[in-house]
Protein backbone atom coordinates (compact mmCIF):
# COMPACT_ATOMS: atom_id res chain seq x y z
CA UNK A 1 0.00 0.00 0.00
CA UNK A 2 2.80 2.39 0.92
CA UNK A 3 4.59 1.70 -2.37
CA UNK A 4 1.42 2.36 -4.38
CA UNK A 5 0.90 5.65 -2.52
CA UNK A 6 4.52 6.63 -3.24
CA UNK A 7 4.12 5.89 -6.96
CA UNK A 8 0.88 7.87 -7.09
CA UNK A 9 2.58 10.80 -5.34
CA UNK A 10 5.42 10.77 -7.89
CA UNK A 11 2.99 10.85 -10.84
CA UNK A 12 1.02 13.64 -9.19
CA UNK A 13 4.15 15.75 -8.75
CA UNK A 14 5.12 15.14 -12.38
CA UNK A 15 1.70 16.34 -13.51
CA UNK A 16 2.02 19.47 -11.38
CA UNK A 17 5.39 20.35 -12.89
CA UNK A 18 4.19 19.81 -16.47
CA UNK A 19 6.23 20.53 -19.59
CA UNK A 20 9.15 22.93 -19.65
CA UNK A 21 8.14 26.60 -19.81
CA UNK A 22 7.65 27.90 -23.35
CA UNK A 23 10.00 30.54 -24.69
CA UNK A 24 8.62 34.07 -24.37
CA UNK A 25 9.35 36.91 -26.77
CA UNK A 26 8.69 40.17 -24.93
CA UNK A 27 7.74 42.90 -27.40
CA UNK A 28 7.23 46.61 -26.76
CA UNK A 29 4.69 48.21 -29.08
CA UNK A 30 2.22 51.07 -29.24
CA UNK A 31 -1.37 50.01 -28.39
CA UNK A 32 -2.97 52.71 -30.58
CA UNK A 33 -0.87 53.30 -33.67
CA UNK A 34 -2.40 51.75 -36.77
CA UNK A 35 -1.33 50.59 -39.30
CA UNK A 36 1.76 49.65 -37.30
CA UNK A 37 0.33 48.16 -34.10
CA UNK A 38 -2.56 48.25 -31.67
CA UNK A 39 -3.71 46.38 -28.59
CA UNK A 40 -5.96 44.17 -30.75
CA UNK A 41 -2.83 43.11 -32.69
CA UNK A 42 -4.26 44.28 -36.01
CA UNK A 43 -1.20 46.18 -37.29
CA UNK A 44 1.32 44.86 -39.77
CA UNK A 45 4.02 45.02 -37.09
CA UNK A 46 1.82 42.77 -34.91
CA UNK A 47 1.57 40.26 -37.75
CA UNK A 48 5.32 40.43 -38.30
CA UNK A 49 5.96 39.83 -34.60
CA UNK A 50 3.64 36.80 -34.71
CA UNK A 51 5.57 35.43 -37.70
CA UNK A 52 8.90 35.84 -35.93
CA UNK A 53 7.62 34.31 -32.69
CA UNK A 54 6.14 31.31 -34.48
CA UNK A 55 9.45 30.57 -36.15
CA UNK A 56 11.31 30.93 -32.84
CA UNK A 57 8.83 28.60 -31.09
CA UNK A 58 8.05 31.46 -28.74
CA UNK A 59 4.96 33.02 -27.22
CA UNK A 60 4.52 36.76 -27.64
CA UNK A 61 4.16 38.84 -24.50
CA UNK A 62 3.38 42.48 -25.27
CA UNK A 63 4.39 45.45 -23.19
CA UNK A 64 2.15 48.24 -24.44
CA UNK A 65 3.85 51.62 -24.41
CA UNK A 66 2.85 54.71 -26.36
CA UNK A 67 5.33 55.75 -29.02
CA UNK A 68 6.68 58.86 -27.38
CA UNK A 69 10.06 60.42 -26.85
CA UNK A 70 12.03 58.26 -24.44
CA UNK A 71 10.11 55.06 -25.14
CA UNK A 72 13.26 53.07 -26.02
CA UNK A 73 15.00 54.23 -22.87
CA UNK A 74 11.98 53.40 -20.73
CA UNK A 75 11.19 50.02 -22.29
CA UNK A 76 13.90 48.06 -24.09
CA UNK A 77 16.86 49.59 -22.29
CA UNK A 78 15.03 49.31 -18.97
CA UNK A 79 14.59 45.57 -19.50
CA UNK A 80 10.81 45.59 -19.92
CA UNK A 81 11.00 43.88 -23.30
CA UNK A 82 13.44 42.26 -25.73
CA UNK A 83 12.27 43.55 -29.12
CA UNK A 84 10.84 46.75 -30.58
CA UNK A 85 9.54 46.47 -34.15
CA UNK A 86 9.45 49.35 -36.59
CA UNK A 87 12.61 51.29 -35.73
CA UNK A 88 14.90 53.13 -38.12
CA UNK A 89 17.81 50.96 -39.21
CA UNK A 90 21.08 51.97 -37.60
CA UNK A 91 19.48 53.75 -34.66
CA UNK A 92 22.32 54.24 -32.20
CA UNK A 93 20.44 53.44 -28.99
CA UNK A 94 20.06 49.76 -29.87
CA UNK A 95 21.07 47.03 -32.30
CA UNK A 96 18.91 46.86 -35.41
CA UNK A 97 18.27 43.90 -37.65
CA UNK A 98 18.58 43.98 -41.39
CA UNK A 99 15.72 46.13 -42.74
CA UNK A 100 12.48 44.47 -43.75
CA UNK A 101 11.18 47.44 -45.70
CA UNK A 102 12.23 50.83 -47.01
CA UNK A 103 9.68 53.60 -47.39
CA UNK A 104 9.44 57.32 -48.05
CA UNK A 105 7.50 60.45 -47.21
CA UNK A 106 4.71 61.17 -49.68
CA UNK A 107 2.52 64.03 -50.85
CA UNK A 108 -1.13 63.20 -50.13
CA UNK A 109 -3.96 64.94 -51.99
CA UNK A 110 -7.56 64.21 -52.93
CA UNK A 111 -7.65 62.22 -56.15
CA UNK A 112 -10.33 64.46 -57.62
CA UNK A 113 -8.03 67.49 -57.26
CA UNK A 114 -5.50 65.89 -59.63
CA UNK A 115 -2.62 67.78 -58.02
CA UNK A 116 0.94 66.71 -58.76
CA UNK A 117 4.24 68.11 -57.52
CA UNK A 118 7.76 68.28 -58.87
CA UNK A 119 9.17 68.20 -55.34
CA UNK A 120 9.70 70.59 -52.46
CA UNK A 121 10.64 73.40 -54.87
CA UNK A 122 7.27 73.26 -56.63
CA UNK A 123 5.81 76.81 -56.71
CA UNK A 124 2.34 75.48 -55.75
CA UNK A 125 3.55 74.78 -52.22
CA UNK A 126 3.75 78.50 -51.51
CA UNK A 127 0.01 78.90 -52.10
CA UNK A 128 -1.67 75.68 -50.93
CA UNK A 129 -2.81 74.73 -47.45
CA UNK A 130 -0.23 72.19 -46.32
CA UNK A 131 -0.31 69.71 -43.44
CA UNK A 132 2.93 68.36 -42.05
CA UNK A 133 3.69 65.89 -39.26
CA UNK A 134 5.39 67.17 -36.10
CA UNK A 135 7.23 65.49 -33.26
CA UNK A 136 7.71 68.43 -30.89
CA UNK A 137 6.03 71.79 -30.49
CA UNK A 138 8.20 73.71 -32.98
CA UNK A 139 6.76 72.06 -36.14
CA UNK A 140 10.13 72.16 -37.93
CA UNK A 141 11.36 68.85 -36.58
CA UNK A 142 10.50 66.23 -39.19
CA UNK A 143 12.42 66.15 -42.48
CA UNK A 144 9.52 67.52 -44.58
CA UNK A 145 8.93 70.33 -42.06
CA UNK A 146 12.60 71.30 -42.27
CA UNK A 147 12.45 71.15 -46.08
CA UNK A 148 9.48 73.55 -46.16
CA UNK A 149 11.07 75.93 -43.66
CA UNK A 150 14.29 76.07 -45.74
CA UNK A 151 12.18 77.42 -48.60
CA UNK A 152 10.26 79.93 -46.52
CA UNK A 153 7.05 77.94 -46.69
CA UNK A 154 5.70 78.53 -43.19
CA UNK A 155 2.59 80.72 -43.03
CA UNK A 156 0.43 78.30 -45.04
CA UNK A 157 1.57 75.23 -43.08
CA UNK A 158 -0.38 73.51 -40.33
CA UNK A 159 1.39 71.12 -38.00
CA UNK A 160 -0.08 67.80 -36.84
CA UNK A 161 1.43 66.03 -33.88
CA UNK A 162 2.73 62.64 -34.87
CA UNK A 163 1.35 61.25 -31.61
CA UNK A 164 -1.91 63.22 -31.55
CA UNK A 165 -4.74 63.01 -29.05
CA UNK A 166 -4.33 59.55 -27.56
CA UNK A 167 -8.00 59.43 -26.57
CA UNK A 168 -8.80 59.04 -30.27
CA UNK A 169 -8.49 55.87 -32.31
CA UNK A 170 -5.16 55.94 -34.19
CA UNK A 171 -4.72 59.71 -33.77
CA UNK A 172 -2.11 60.17 -36.57
CA UNK A 173 -4.82 59.56 -39.18
CA UNK A 174 -6.29 63.05 -38.56
CA UNK A 175 -3.96 64.72 -41.05
CA UNK A 176 -5.25 62.42 -43.79
CA UNK A 177 -8.89 62.94 -42.88
CA UNK A 178 -8.37 66.69 -43.15
CA UNK A 179 -7.08 66.26 -46.69
CA UNK A 180 -10.19 64.23 -47.58
CA UNK A 181 -12.47 66.85 -46.01
CA UNK A 182 -10.81 69.73 -47.87
CA UNK A 183 -9.29 71.34 -44.78
CA UNK A 184 -5.87 70.81 -46.38
CA UNK A 185 -4.87 70.87 -50.04
CA UNK A 186 -1.91 68.57 -49.48
CA UNK A 187 -0.26 66.75 -46.60
CA UNK A 188 3.28 65.41 -46.42
CA UNK A 189 3.08 62.15 -44.51
CA UNK A 190 5.21 59.10 -43.72
CA UNK A 191 4.39 56.55 -46.42
CA UNK A 192 3.06 53.56 -44.44
CA UNK A 193 0.54 55.73 -42.57
CA UNK A 194 -0.60 57.40 -45.79
CA UNK A 195 -0.79 54.18 -47.77
CA UNK A 196 -2.91 52.38 -45.21
CA UNK A 197 -5.51 55.09 -44.72
CA UNK A 198 -5.64 55.94 -48.42
CA UNK A 199 -7.26 52.51 -48.79
CA UNK A 200 -9.94 53.40 -46.24
CA UNK A 201 -10.68 57.14 -46.30
CA UNK A 202 -13.16 58.66 -48.75
CA UNK A 203 -13.13 60.71 -50.90
CA UNK A 204 -10.24 58.78 -52.40
CA UNK A 205 -6.73 60.00 -51.70
CA UNK A 206 -3.75 60.05 -54.07
CA UNK A 207 -0.15 59.47 -52.99
CA UNK A 208 2.98 60.75 -54.69
CA UNK A 209 6.52 60.22 -53.42
CA UNK A 210 8.32 63.41 -52.45
CA UNK A 211 10.75 62.37 -55.15
CA UNK A 212 14.06 62.56 -53.31
CA UNK A 213 15.84 60.27 -50.88
CA UNK A 214 17.12 63.30 -48.98
CA UNK A 215 16.94 67.09 -49.02
CA UNK A 216 20.54 67.70 -48.08
CA UNK A 217 22.68 65.48 -45.85
CA UNK A 218 20.68 66.18 -42.69
CA UNK A 219 17.18 65.63 -44.10
CA UNK A 220 16.56 62.04 -45.20
CA UNK A 221 13.15 61.40 -46.76
CA UNK A 222 13.59 57.65 -47.16
CA UNK A 223 14.20 55.28 -44.25
CA UNK A 224 15.06 51.61 -43.86
CA UNK A 225 13.00 50.00 -41.09
CA UNK A 226 14.16 47.18 -38.80
CA UNK A 227 13.47 45.44 -35.53
CA UNK A 228 15.50 46.63 -32.57
CA UNK A 229 17.08 44.63 -29.74
CA UNK A 230 19.60 45.42 -27.02
CA UNK A 231 23.17 45.60 -28.27
CA UNK A 232 24.23 42.62 -26.19
CA UNK A 233 21.45 40.38 -27.55
CA UNK A 234 23.43 39.30 -30.61
CA UNK A 235 21.96 35.81 -30.76
CA UNK A 236 18.37 37.09 -30.72
CA UNK A 237 19.24 39.58 -33.46
CA UNK A 238 20.63 36.78 -35.62
CA UNK A 239 17.57 34.60 -35.01
CA UNK A 240 15.20 37.39 -36.05
CA UNK A 241 17.27 38.18 -39.13
CA UNK A 242 17.11 34.53 -40.18
CA UNK A 243 13.30 34.63 -40.01
CA UNK A 244 13.18 37.90 -41.95
CA UNK A 245 15.36 36.39 -44.68
CA UNK A 246 13.51 33.08 -44.90
CA UNK A 247 10.08 34.74 -45.08
CA UNK A 248 10.88 37.66 -47.38
CA UNK A 249 8.01 36.98 -49.79
CA UNK A 250 5.48 36.62 -46.99
CA UNK A 251 6.62 39.91 -45.45
CA UNK A 252 6.44 41.70 -48.81
CA UNK A 253 2.87 40.43 -49.28
CA UNK A 254 1.97 41.67 -45.78
CA UNK A 255 3.33 45.15 -46.52
CA UNK A 256 1.48 45.25 -49.84
CA UNK A 257 -1.76 44.30 -48.13
CA UNK A 258 -1.38 47.26 -45.77
CA UNK A 259 -0.59 49.68 -48.59
CA UNK A 260 3.00 50.42 -47.53
CA UNK A 261 4.81 52.41 -50.28
CA UNK A 262 8.15 50.74 -50.94
CA UNK A 263 10.96 53.10 -51.91
High-pLDDT (> 70) share of the chain, %: 89
pLDDT of residue 38: 95
Band of pLDDT at residue 164, cut at 50, 70 and 90: low
**Average pLDDT of the chain?**
90
Please name every residue paired with 133 in a beta bridge, in sequence order, or none if there are none. 160
Residues 91-110 have a mean pLDDT of 97
Residue 68 pLDDT more than 60?
A: yes
Listed in sequence order, the residues at least 6 apart from 143 whose beta carbon sits closer than 8 Å to its beta carbon are 105, 214, 215, 219, 220, 221
Q: How many CB atoms lie within 10 A of CB 165?
A: 8
Cα separation, 67 vs 250, whole angstroms: 26
Residue 141 pLDDT more than 50?
A: yes
Residue 67 pLDDT more than 90?
A: no
What are the pLDDT digits (tens) for 4-37? 444 444 444 444 444 457 899 999 999 999 999 9
Angle between helices 234-246 and 44-55 in degrees, nearest 10: 110
pLDDT of residue 12: 45
pLDDT of residue 135: 82
- Which of 7-11, 99-103, 135-139 tops mean pLDDT? 99-103
High-pLDDT (> 90) share of the chain, %: 79
Q: Domains in the chain, please, with CATH?
A: 21-101+223-257 (3.40.190.10), 102-209 (3.40.190.10)
Query: 38-47, 114-123, 140-149, 251-260: which range is least confident on average?
Result: 140-149
Cα separation, 172 vs 68, whole angstroms: 13
Cα separation, 77 vs 153, whole angstroms: 39
pLDDT of residue 162: 81
Query: 19-28, 56-65, 206-215: which range is least confident on average?
Result: 19-28
Please name every residue paired with 241 in a beta bridge, in sequence order, or none if there are none. none
pLDDT of residue 15: 44
pLDDT of residue 215: 92
Q: What is the pTM of this model?
A: 0.87
pLDDT of residue 153: 97
Ordered DSSP codes for the chain: -HHHHHHHHHHHHHHHH-SPPPEEEEEEE-TEETTTEETTS-SHHHHHHHHHHHHTTEEEEEEE----TTHHHHTTTTTS-SBEEEEETT-TTSEE-S-SEEEEEEEEEEGGG----SSTT-GGGGTS-EEEEESSSSSTTSHHHHHHHHTT--TTEEEEESS--TTSSSGGGHHHHHHHTTS-SEEEEEHHHHHHHHTTSSS-EEEEE-S-SBSSTT-B-EEEEEEEE-TT-HHHHHHHHHHHHHTHHHHHHHHHHTTPPP-
Amino acid sequence: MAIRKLIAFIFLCAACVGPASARVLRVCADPNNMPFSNEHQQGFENHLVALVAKNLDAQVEYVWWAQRRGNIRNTLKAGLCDVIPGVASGLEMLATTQPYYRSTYVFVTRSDRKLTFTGFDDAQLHQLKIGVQMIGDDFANTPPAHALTKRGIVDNVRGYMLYGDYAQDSPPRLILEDVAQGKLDVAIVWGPLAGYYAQKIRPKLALQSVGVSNDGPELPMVFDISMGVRRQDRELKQEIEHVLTQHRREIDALLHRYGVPIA
